[in-house]
Protein backbone atom coordinates (compact mmCIF):
# COMPACT_ATOMS: atom_id res chain seq x y z
CA UNK A 1 0.00 0.00 0.00
CA UNK A 2 1.18 3.53 -0.73
CA UNK A 3 -0.44 6.95 -0.94
CA UNK A 4 0.24 10.49 -2.05
CA UNK A 5 -1.40 13.86 -1.50
CA UNK A 6 -3.24 15.33 -4.49
CA UNK A 7 -2.17 18.83 -5.48
CA UNK A 8 -4.17 21.25 -7.61
CA UNK A 9 -7.89 21.09 -8.32
CA UNK A 10 -7.05 19.91 -11.84
CA UNK A 11 -5.07 17.01 -10.31
CA UNK A 12 -8.02 16.13 -8.10
CA UNK A 13 -10.48 16.06 -10.99
CA UNK A 14 -8.08 14.00 -13.12
CA UNK A 15 -7.66 11.52 -10.26
CA UNK A 16 -11.44 11.18 -9.90
CA UNK A 17 -11.79 10.52 -13.64
CA UNK A 18 -8.91 8.02 -13.60
CA UNK A 19 -10.55 6.29 -10.65
CA UNK A 20 -13.61 5.70 -12.79
CA UNK A 21 -16.01 8.03 -10.97
CA UNK A 22 -19.10 8.79 -13.08
CA UNK A 23 -19.00 12.14 -14.88
CA UNK A 24 -21.72 13.70 -12.71
CA UNK A 25 -19.97 12.54 -9.56
CA UNK A 26 -16.66 14.13 -10.54
CA UNK A 27 -18.13 17.64 -10.25
CA UNK A 28 -19.92 16.86 -6.98
CA UNK A 29 -16.87 15.32 -5.32
CA UNK A 30 -14.51 18.00 -6.61
CA UNK A 31 -16.53 20.58 -4.69
CA UNK A 32 -15.85 18.59 -1.53
CA UNK A 33 -12.11 18.72 -2.24
CA UNK A 34 -11.83 22.52 -2.39
CA UNK A 35 -11.56 24.39 0.93
CA UNK A 36 -12.70 28.00 1.15
CA UNK A 37 -12.14 30.60 3.87
CA UNK A 38 -13.93 33.93 4.37
CA UNK A 39 -13.08 36.72 6.83
CA UNK A 40 -16.34 38.45 7.79
CA UNK A 41 -16.13 41.82 9.55
CA UNK A 42 -18.65 43.60 11.79
CA UNK A 43 -21.37 40.96 11.76
CA UNK A 44 -24.20 41.41 14.25
CA UNK A 45 -23.77 39.17 17.30
CA UNK A 46 -27.04 37.24 16.83
CA UNK A 47 -26.02 36.61 13.22
CA UNK A 48 -22.64 35.28 14.34
CA UNK A 49 -24.28 32.79 16.68
CA UNK A 50 -26.79 31.66 14.03
CA UNK A 51 -24.08 31.33 11.38
CA UNK A 52 -21.92 29.32 13.80
CA UNK A 53 -24.68 26.80 14.45
CA UNK A 54 -25.70 26.55 10.81
CA UNK A 55 -22.10 26.01 9.75
CA UNK A 56 -21.55 23.26 12.31
CA UNK A 57 -24.80 21.55 11.31
CA UNK A 58 -23.49 20.88 7.78
CA UNK A 59 -19.87 20.09 8.67
CA UNK A 60 -18.37 23.55 8.14
CA UNK A 61 -17.20 25.85 10.96
CA UNK A 62 -17.01 29.47 12.05
CA UNK A 63 -14.09 30.79 14.09
CA UNK A 64 -15.36 33.42 16.55
CA UNK A 65 -13.89 35.45 19.43
CA UNK A 66 -14.65 34.55 23.02
CA UNK A 67 -17.63 36.47 24.35
CA UNK A 68 -19.82 35.95 21.31
CA UNK A 69 -22.07 33.42 22.99
CA UNK A 70 -22.97 35.87 25.78
CA UNK A 71 -23.26 38.81 23.37
CA UNK A 72 -20.65 41.00 25.08
CA UNK A 73 -20.46 43.28 22.01
CA UNK A 74 -22.97 44.19 19.28
CA UNK A 75 -20.63 43.33 16.39
CA UNK A 76 -17.93 40.71 15.86
CA UNK A 77 -15.48 39.59 13.21
CA UNK A 78 -15.37 35.89 12.33
CA UNK A 79 -13.81 33.43 9.87
CA UNK A 80 -15.99 31.02 7.92
CA UNK A 81 -14.37 27.81 6.70
CA UNK A 82 -15.65 24.88 4.69
CA UNK A 83 -15.56 23.09 1.38
CA UNK A 84 -17.12 24.63 -1.73
CA UNK A 85 -20.04 22.23 -1.21
CA UNK A 86 -20.47 23.44 2.39
CA UNK A 87 -20.50 27.08 1.30
CA UNK A 88 -23.04 26.38 -1.44
CA UNK A 89 -25.40 24.78 1.10
CA UNK A 90 -24.79 27.46 3.72
CA UNK A 91 -25.33 30.33 1.29
CA UNK A 92 -28.78 28.97 0.44
CA UNK A 93 -29.60 28.35 4.10
CA UNK A 94 -28.69 31.88 5.23
CA UNK A 95 -30.97 33.54 2.67
CA UNK A 96 -33.84 32.90 5.07
CA UNK A 97 -32.05 34.16 8.19
CA UNK A 98 -32.32 37.64 9.81
CA UNK A 99 -29.69 40.05 11.23
CA UNK A 100 -27.93 40.70 7.92
CA UNK A 101 -27.28 37.06 7.07
CA UNK A 102 -29.15 37.43 3.79
CA UNK A 103 -26.40 39.85 2.65
CA UNK A 104 -23.77 37.37 3.82
CA UNK A 105 -25.48 34.67 1.76
CA UNK A 106 -25.54 36.84 -1.35
CA UNK A 107 -21.87 37.73 -0.94
CA UNK A 108 -20.96 34.05 -0.60
CA UNK A 109 -22.91 33.23 -3.75
CA UNK A 110 -21.08 35.99 -5.61
CA UNK A 111 -17.77 34.39 -4.66
CA UNK A 112 -19.02 30.97 -5.74
CA UNK A 113 -20.01 32.37 -9.15
CA UNK A 114 -16.54 33.71 -9.95
CA UNK A 115 -15.35 32.78 -13.44
CA UNK A 116 -11.66 32.52 -14.27
CA UNK A 117 -10.05 34.52 -17.09
CA UNK A 118 -7.17 33.51 -19.37
CA UNK A 119 -3.80 34.92 -18.34
CA UNK A 120 -2.55 37.81 -20.50
CA UNK A 121 0.77 39.65 -20.54
CA UNK A 122 0.88 43.44 -20.93
CA UNK A 123 4.15 44.97 -22.08
CA UNK A 124 5.28 48.46 -21.05
CA UNK A 125 6.51 51.26 -23.33
CA UNK A 126 7.48 54.63 -21.85
CA UNK A 127 7.88 57.67 -24.08
CA UNK A 128 9.41 59.75 -21.30
CA UNK A 129 12.96 60.00 -20.02
CA UNK A 130 12.25 59.79 -16.29
CA UNK A 131 10.60 56.39 -15.97
CA UNK A 132 12.10 54.61 -12.95
CA UNK A 133 13.37 51.69 -15.08
CA UNK A 134 15.63 53.01 -17.83
CA UNK A 135 15.21 49.94 -20.07
CA UNK A 136 11.52 50.80 -20.51
CA UNK A 137 12.26 54.24 -22.05
CA UNK A 138 12.06 54.49 -25.83
CA UNK A 139 12.28 57.15 -28.49
CA UNK A 140 9.38 57.06 -30.98
CA UNK A 141 11.47 55.17 -33.55
CA UNK A 142 12.76 52.65 -31.02
CA UNK A 143 9.30 52.30 -29.52
CA UNK A 144 7.92 50.98 -32.82
CA UNK A 145 10.68 48.38 -33.00
CA UNK A 146 10.04 47.38 -29.40
CA UNK A 147 6.29 47.05 -30.01
CA UNK A 148 6.93 44.71 -32.95
CA UNK A 149 9.37 42.72 -30.82
CA UNK A 150 6.84 42.37 -28.00
CA UNK A 151 4.19 41.18 -30.44
CA UNK A 152 6.66 38.58 -31.76
CA UNK A 153 7.19 37.40 -28.18
CA UNK A 154 3.45 36.81 -27.78
CA UNK A 155 2.23 39.79 -25.76
CA UNK A 156 -1.55 40.36 -25.53
CA UNK A 157 -1.55 44.03 -24.56
CA UNK A 158 0.92 46.92 -24.80
CA UNK A 159 0.64 49.83 -22.36
CA UNK A 160 2.11 53.09 -23.66
CA UNK A 161 2.58 56.17 -21.52
CA UNK A 162 4.52 59.44 -21.53
CA UNK A 163 4.46 60.55 -17.88
CA UNK A 164 6.25 58.95 -14.95
CA UNK A 165 4.05 57.89 -12.03
CA UNK A 166 6.95 56.97 -9.75
CA UNK A 167 6.96 58.49 -6.24
CA UNK A 168 7.75 62.22 -6.36
CA UNK A 169 7.65 62.24 -10.16
CA UNK A 170 7.73 65.61 -11.88
CA UNK A 171 4.33 66.81 -13.07
CA UNK A 172 3.97 67.33 -16.82
CA UNK A 173 1.57 69.54 -18.78
CA UNK A 174 -0.97 67.93 -21.13
CA UNK A 175 0.79 69.60 -24.06
CA UNK A 176 4.15 68.02 -23.25
CA UNK A 177 2.56 64.62 -22.55
CA UNK A 178 0.79 64.67 -25.91
CA UNK A 179 3.91 65.80 -27.76
CA UNK A 180 5.84 62.86 -26.33
CA UNK A 181 3.30 60.18 -27.21
CA UNK A 182 1.90 61.61 -30.46
CA UNK A 183 4.55 60.08 -32.79
CA UNK A 184 3.85 56.59 -31.41
CA UNK A 185 0.10 57.06 -31.73
CA UNK A 186 0.55 58.30 -35.30
CA UNK A 187 2.72 55.29 -36.16
CA UNK A 188 0.07 52.91 -34.86
CA UNK A 189 -2.68 54.78 -36.71
CA UNK A 190 -0.73 54.76 -39.99
CA UNK A 191 0.05 51.03 -39.67
CA UNK A 192 3.80 51.42 -39.24
CA UNK A 193 3.29 48.54 -36.87
CA UNK A 194 3.37 45.36 -38.98
CA UNK A 195 -0.21 44.79 -40.22
CA UNK A 196 0.14 41.04 -39.84
CA UNK A 197 1.02 41.59 -36.21
CA UNK A 198 -1.88 43.96 -35.63
CA UNK A 199 -4.17 41.19 -36.90
CA UNK A 200 -3.13 39.14 -33.86
CA UNK A 201 -5.57 41.32 -31.89
CA UNK A 202 -2.95 42.98 -29.70
CA UNK A 203 -4.63 45.61 -27.53
CA UNK A 204 -2.97 49.02 -27.28
CA UNK A 205 -3.45 50.70 -23.91
CA UNK A 206 -2.93 54.39 -23.18
CA UNK A 207 -1.36 54.93 -19.76
CA UNK A 208 -2.81 58.36 -19.02
CA UNK A 209 -5.50 60.21 -17.10
CA UNK A 210 -5.33 63.36 -19.26
CA UNK A 211 -8.53 63.53 -21.37
CA UNK A 212 -6.92 65.22 -24.40
CA UNK A 213 -4.10 62.64 -24.49
CA UNK A 214 -6.47 59.73 -23.95
CA UNK A 215 -8.75 60.88 -26.77
CA UNK A 216 -5.85 61.26 -29.21
CA UNK A 217 -4.73 57.71 -28.43
CA UNK A 218 -8.25 56.31 -28.81
CA UNK A 219 -8.58 58.03 -32.20
CA UNK A 220 -5.29 56.35 -33.17
CA UNK A 221 -6.56 52.82 -32.53
CA UNK A 222 -5.96 52.32 -28.81
CA UNK A 223 -8.78 50.37 -27.14
CA UNK A 224 -7.85 50.43 -23.44
CA UNK A 225 -7.43 53.32 -21.01
CA UNK A 226 -5.09 52.63 -18.08
CA UNK A 227 -5.98 55.35 -15.56
CA UNK A 228 -3.89 55.38 -12.37
CA UNK A 229 -6.34 57.82 -10.76
CA UNK A 230 -9.14 55.27 -11.01
CA UNK A 231 -11.25 57.39 -13.35
CA UNK A 232 -11.47 60.24 -10.86
CA UNK A 233 -12.23 62.48 -13.85
CA UNK A 234 -15.64 61.52 -15.24
CA UNK A 235 -14.44 62.65 -18.69
CA UNK A 236 -12.32 59.52 -18.90
CA UNK A 237 -15.38 57.29 -18.48
CA UNK A 238 -17.22 59.25 -21.16
CA UNK A 239 -14.27 58.78 -23.53
CA UNK A 240 -14.26 55.03 -22.88
CA UNK A 241 -17.95 54.93 -23.77
CA UNK A 242 -17.58 57.18 -26.83
CA UNK A 243 -14.82 55.05 -28.35
CA UNK A 244 -16.06 51.68 -27.01
CA UNK A 245 -12.80 51.23 -25.10
CA UNK A 246 -12.08 49.23 -21.98
CA UNK A 247 -11.04 51.02 -18.78
CA UNK A 248 -8.52 49.95 -16.15
CA UNK A 249 -9.33 51.46 -12.76
CA UNK A 250 -6.36 51.60 -10.40
CA UNK A 251 -6.40 52.36 -6.69
CA UNK A 252 -3.97 55.00 -5.45
CA UNK A 253 -3.86 56.82 -2.14
CA UNK A 254 -2.90 60.42 -2.88
CA UNK A 255 -0.94 61.37 -6.00
CA UNK A 256 2.47 60.26 -7.29
CA UNK A 257 3.90 63.32 -5.58
CA UNK A 258 2.40 62.45 -2.15
CA UNK A 259 1.45 58.76 -2.20
CA UNK A 260 4.47 57.37 -0.37
CA UNK A 261 4.46 59.93 2.44
CA UNK A 262 3.41 57.64 5.30
CA UNK A 263 0.49 55.82 3.65
CA UNK A 264 -2.07 54.56 6.20
CA UNK A 265 -5.17 52.35 6.13
CA UNK A 266 -7.36 51.05 8.94
CA UNK A 267 -8.04 47.98 6.79
CA UNK A 268 -6.52 48.04 3.32
CA UNK A 269 -8.63 45.19 1.97
CA UNK A 270 -11.88 46.87 2.96
CA UNK A 271 -10.80 50.30 1.76
CA UNK A 272 -9.55 49.18 -1.65
CA UNK A 273 -12.64 47.01 -2.06
CA UNK A 274 -14.94 49.94 -1.18
CA UNK A 275 -13.05 52.13 -3.67
CA UNK A 276 -13.61 49.62 -6.48
CA UNK A 277 -17.25 49.20 -5.54
CA UNK A 278 -17.82 52.96 -5.74
CA UNK A 279 -15.92 53.42 -9.02
CA UNK A 280 -17.59 50.44 -10.70
CA UNK A 281 -21.00 51.76 -9.67
CA UNK A 282 -20.08 55.14 -11.17
CA UNK A 283 -19.02 53.54 -14.45
CA UNK A 284 -22.15 51.40 -14.63
CA UNK A 285 -24.38 54.39 -13.89
CA UNK A 286 -22.86 56.11 -16.94
CA UNK A 287 -23.40 53.07 -19.14
CA UNK A 288 -20.24 50.94 -18.90
CA UNK A 289 -20.34 47.16 -18.55
CA UNK A 290 -18.22 45.24 -16.04
CA UNK A 291 -16.89 43.24 -18.97
CA UNK A 292 -15.13 46.42 -20.08
CA UNK A 293 -13.66 47.24 -16.64
CA UNK A 294 -10.30 46.02 -15.36
CA UNK A 295 -9.20 46.46 -11.74
CA UNK A 296 -5.66 47.20 -10.50
CA UNK A 297 -5.00 47.33 -6.74
CA UNK A 298 -2.09 49.69 -7.39
CA UNK A 299 0.89 47.98 -5.79
CA UNK A 300 3.29 50.68 -4.63
CA UNK A 301 0.83 53.50 -5.16
CA UNK A 302 0.29 54.80 -1.63
CA UNK A 303 1.14 51.50 0.06
CA UNK A 304 3.82 50.16 2.37
CA UNK A 305 5.45 46.77 1.81
CA UNK A 306 2.97 45.25 4.28
CA UNK A 307 0.02 46.76 2.39
CA UNK A 308 1.35 45.40 -0.91
CA UNK A 309 1.86 41.90 0.49
CA UNK A 310 -1.62 41.88 2.02
CA UNK A 311 -3.17 42.78 -1.35
CA UNK A 312 -1.20 40.08 -3.18
CA UNK A 313 -1.99 37.38 -0.62
CA UNK A 314 -5.70 38.23 -0.73
CA UNK A 315 -6.06 39.18 -4.40
CA UNK A 316 -8.65 36.45 -4.91
CA UNK A 317 -11.09 38.65 -2.98
CA UNK A 318 -11.29 41.15 -5.85
CA UNK A 319 -12.53 38.47 -8.25
CA UNK A 320 -15.94 39.00 -6.66
CA UNK A 321 -16.36 42.14 -8.80
CA UNK A 322 -16.47 39.98 -11.96
CA UNK A 323 -13.82 42.14 -13.65
CA UNK A 324 -10.38 41.15 -14.90
CA UNK A 325 -7.65 41.90 -12.36
CA UNK A 326 -4.37 43.50 -13.42
CA UNK A 327 -1.19 43.20 -11.38
CA UNK A 328 1.84 45.41 -11.92
CA UNK A 329 4.83 44.94 -9.62
CA UNK A 330 7.48 44.92 -12.33
CA UNK A 331 10.87 45.78 -10.75
CA UNK A 332 9.18 47.91 -8.06
CA UNK A 333 10.79 48.98 -4.81
CA UNK A 334 8.79 46.47 -2.75
CA UNK A 335 11.30 43.88 -3.99
CA UNK A 336 14.13 46.04 -2.67
CA UNK A 337 12.37 46.29 0.70
CA UNK A 338 12.28 42.49 0.95
CA UNK A 339 15.84 41.92 -0.26
CA UNK A 340 18.05 44.91 -1.24
CA UNK A 341 18.40 44.70 -5.01
CA UNK A 342 19.15 47.28 -7.76
CA UNK A 343 16.31 47.94 -10.22
CA UNK A 344 18.16 46.23 -13.09
CA UNK A 345 18.40 43.00 -11.05
CA UNK A 346 14.78 42.66 -9.91
CA UNK A 347 13.45 40.32 -12.59
CA UNK A 348 13.45 37.25 -10.34
CA UNK A 349 11.56 39.08 -7.59
CA UNK A 350 9.12 40.44 -10.16
CA UNK A 351 8.35 36.95 -11.47
CA UNK A 352 7.81 35.63 -7.93
CA UNK A 353 5.28 38.37 -7.15
CA UNK A 354 3.45 38.07 -10.44
CA UNK A 355 3.17 34.28 -10.31
CA UNK A 356 1.73 34.48 -6.78
CA UNK A 357 -0.72 37.18 -7.90
CA UNK A 358 -1.85 35.03 -10.83
CA UNK A 359 -2.29 32.07 -8.51
CA UNK A 360 -4.52 34.34 -6.40
CA UNK A 361 -6.72 35.59 -9.23
CA UNK A 362 -4.86 38.16 -11.33
CA UNK A 363 -5.36 37.64 -15.06
CA UNK A 364 -3.36 40.49 -16.64
CA UNK A 365 0.33 40.87 -15.80
CA UNK A 366 1.84 44.27 -16.61
CA UNK A 367 5.60 43.94 -16.97
CA UNK A 368 8.77 45.25 -18.55
CA UNK A 369 10.21 41.80 -19.33
CA UNK A 370 7.65 40.33 -21.72
CA UNK A 371 9.54 37.31 -23.05
CA UNK A 372 10.54 36.08 -19.60
CA UNK A 373 7.00 36.47 -18.28
CA UNK A 374 5.45 34.60 -21.19
CA UNK A 375 7.83 31.70 -20.58
CA UNK A 376 7.25 31.68 -16.81
CA UNK A 377 3.47 31.85 -17.17
CA UNK A 378 3.43 29.08 -19.79
CA UNK A 379 5.30 26.80 -17.38
CA UNK A 380 3.04 27.89 -14.52
CA UNK A 381 -0.10 27.16 -16.58
CA UNK A 382 1.21 23.68 -17.36
CA UNK A 383 1.38 22.97 -13.61
CA UNK A 384 -2.06 24.38 -12.67
- Give 108-138 pLDDT, tens digit per residue: 999 999 988 999 999 999 988 878 888 788 8
Give the residue from 91, 112, 133 where a domain finishes.
112
Give the residue from 79, 112, 145 where a domain finishes.
112
Question: How many Cβ atoms are within 10 Å of 167's Cβ, its own excluded?
Answer: 18
Residue 370 maps to a domain:
yes
Q: Domain holding 62: CATH number?
A: 3.30.1370
Residue 373 maps to a domain:
yes
- 350 plus 236 within the same structural domain: yes
Residue 295 maps to a domain:
yes
- 79 plus 177 within the same structural domain: no
Q: Does the pLDDT value for residue 321 go beyond 90?
A: yes
- 81 plus 157 within the same structural domain: no
Query: Treating both helix axes as pointing N-terminal to C-terminal, what angle do 101-112 and 84-93 enclose, rounded to 10 degrees?
Result: 140
- 75 plus 25 within the same structural domain: yes
Give the residue from 95, 112, 129 where a domain finishes.
112
Residue 3 maps to a domain:
no
- 268 plus 305 within the same structural domain: yes
Give the Cα separation of 363 and 239 in Å (integer). Answer: 24
Residue 2 maps to a domain:
no
Residues identified as active-site: 332, 366
- 15 plus 106 within the same structural domain: yes
- 190 plus 298 within the same structural domain: yes
The length of the chain, given as a count of residues? 384
Q: What per-residue confidence (pLDDT) applies to 197?
A: 54
Q: What per-residue confidence (pLDDT) applies to 198?
A: 52
Residue 375 maps to a domain:
yes
Give me the mean pLDDT over the 1-13 stretch: 80
Q: How do residues 176-204 score in pLDDT, each as one tens digit?
A: 999 999 999 998 888 665 555 555 579 99
* 190 vs 205, higher pLDDT: 205
Q: Does the pLDDT value for residue 208 go beyond 90?
A: yes
Residue 16 maps to a domain:
yes
* Domains of the chain: total: 2
Q: What per-residue confidence (pLDDT) applies to 193?
A: 59
Q: How do residues 285-314 score in pLDDT, each as one tens digit?
A: 999 999 999 999 999 999 999 999 999 999
Q: Does the pLDDT value for residue 271 go beyond 60?
A: yes
78-93 in b/e form (b: 16+ CB < 10 A) is bebebbbbbbbbbbeb
Q: Domain holding 284: CATH number?
A: 3.20.20.20
Residue 4 maps to a domain:
no
Q: How do residues 73-96 score in pLDDT, each as one tens digit?
A: 999 999 999 999 999 999 999 999
Given its phi and psi angles, is residue 246 left (phi above 0), alpha (psi -120 to 50 degrees) or beta? beta
pTM for this prediction? 0.90
- 167 plus 285 within the same structural domain: yes
- 236 plus 328 within the same structural domain: yes
- 108 plus 164 within the same structural domain: no
- 202 plus 278 within the same structural domain: yes
Give me the mean pLDDT over the 328-355 stretch: 97
Q: What per-residue confidence (pLDDT) applies to 137?
A: 83
Alpha helices in the chain (DSSP H): 9-19, 23-31, 45-58, 84-93, 101-112, 140-153, 174-189, 195-198, 211-219, 234-242, 268-285, 305-313, 333-338, 347-359, 370-383
Give the range of the structural domain holding residue 20, as residue numbers without chain letter.
9-112
Q: What per-residue confidence (pLDDT) applies to 1?
A: 81
Q: What per-residue confidence (pLDDT) applies to 191?
A: 66
- 172 plus 85 within the same structural domain: no
Poorest-pLDDT segment among 2-11, 232-241, 326-335: 2-11
Amino acid sequence: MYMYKLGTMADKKEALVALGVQSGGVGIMAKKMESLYFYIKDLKTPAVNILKQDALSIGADLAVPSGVIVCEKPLYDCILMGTRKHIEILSRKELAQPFGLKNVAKSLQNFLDIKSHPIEVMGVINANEDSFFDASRFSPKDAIAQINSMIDDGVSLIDIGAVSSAPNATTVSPEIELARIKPICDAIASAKIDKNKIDKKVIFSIDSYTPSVVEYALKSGFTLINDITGASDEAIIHLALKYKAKLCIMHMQGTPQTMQKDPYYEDIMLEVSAFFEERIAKCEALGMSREDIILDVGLGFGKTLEHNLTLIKNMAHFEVFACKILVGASRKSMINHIIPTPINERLAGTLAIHLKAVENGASIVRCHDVKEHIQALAVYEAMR
